Amino acid sequence: MDLTDRPRRLRTDGIRPLVSETTLDATDLVAPVFVDATTDERLPIESMPGHERVPISEAADRVAEVRETGVEAVIVFGIPESKDAEGSRAYANDGVVQEAVRRITDQTDAYVITDVCLCEYTDHGHCGIVEEDAAVDPTLTVENDPTLELLTQTAVSHAEAGADMVAPSSMTDGMVGAIREGLDDAGYSDVPIMSYAAKYESAFYGPFRDAADGAPAFGDRRHYQMDPANAREAMREVALDVEQGADVLMVKPGLPYLDIVRAIRENFDHPVAAYNVSGEYAMLHAAAEKGWLDLDATAHESLLSMKRAGADLIITYFAESVAEALTSDR
């Protein structure tokens, strides 16, 4: 053998970390927090081991626990005390997210992002105002333009409560532009928007809908969330959000769509986020419980792959455990 190029030379213990191309840090991670206005105690989420719904009174304590691991940012989801056809508790001044954000920002130094959508607040479980007869006609779902006003009210109410960033997730056409205009008019031009720019109608969302009580009461979300078969369409969606003022571009889910993460990184200069969704989290836990894989190792590898693909930040239910492991390794 006369090999001049031997890649294994750079894989020994001394040199391996020096030539490592991708690093993962606790500050890259965003931890989801579920706040429930219907309970006075923490409620375990069965399909997402290790996670709970917490009452408003414990929202700040929950975020303080996250901060202790080295994770600096959280994204807040709310479960309201009541629901109606227009999701009015999503934009109420005393809504669950608004009350939680006030407590979190007052009592912690976490960077607070809020999810801006209506599905958790509507009695039909869809991400906006539904068309007449949508419950019985599968060709109908959400009315796009009337929904924009409610999303804008929600985002502004979150900013008023103290949110550092808002993250619209409904995949409503024009949502970024409407929210940007609403925030600017209300005096919150410094509040950035992280758009769920390429959000697919995915089978990986099941546990989240259990956690946030946001499953549709009828039909599905194929008319407004993206077709998993489409990649070029994602570039159009992202370009529109950039034109409308998005500051961060998110891909959801993460692992099944690493090609989309990479494509956005190569075509846009904006920060890119990947959402390591509930189904990805749950399936690793389920396999680990069977003894089929090492949970900590596969969680770390999954998040590292998202960073390698081009994600600058990752929303993940593994945030705390991975952050603690990263700290202990140093």
SS3 88: helix
Residue type, 51: H
Q: Which helix (H) or strand (E) holds 216?
A: none
Cα–Cα distance for residue pair 265/263, rounded to 1 Å: 5
Which stretches within the chain are classed as H helix?
59-68, 96-107, 144-161, 175-185, 206-212, 232-244, 258-267, 278-289, 295-309, 319-328
Question: What is the crossing angle of helices 319-328 and 59-68, to 10°?
Answer: 30
Cα–Cα distance for residue pair 219/131, rounded to 1 Å: 12
Q: Catalytic annotation on 199?
A: yes
The Cβ-side half-sphere exposure at 140, using a 13 Å CA radius, reads 10
Q: Catalytic annotation on 290?
A: no
Q: Check 83, 252, 290, 307 and give the catalytic one.
A: 252
Question: What is the crossing angle of helices 232-244 and 258-267, to 10°?
Answer: 50
Running DSSP on this structure, what letter comes out for residue 25? -
SS3 18: helix
SS3 265: helix
Q: Which of 203, 117, 101 has the alpha carbon at shortest distance from 158?
A: 101
Q: Check 83, 199, 290, 307 and give the catalytic one.
A: 199
Cα–Cα distance for residue pair 141/219, rounded to 1 Å: 8
Main-chain phi, psi angles of 20, to 5 degrees: -65, 130
Catalytic residues, which ones? 199, 252
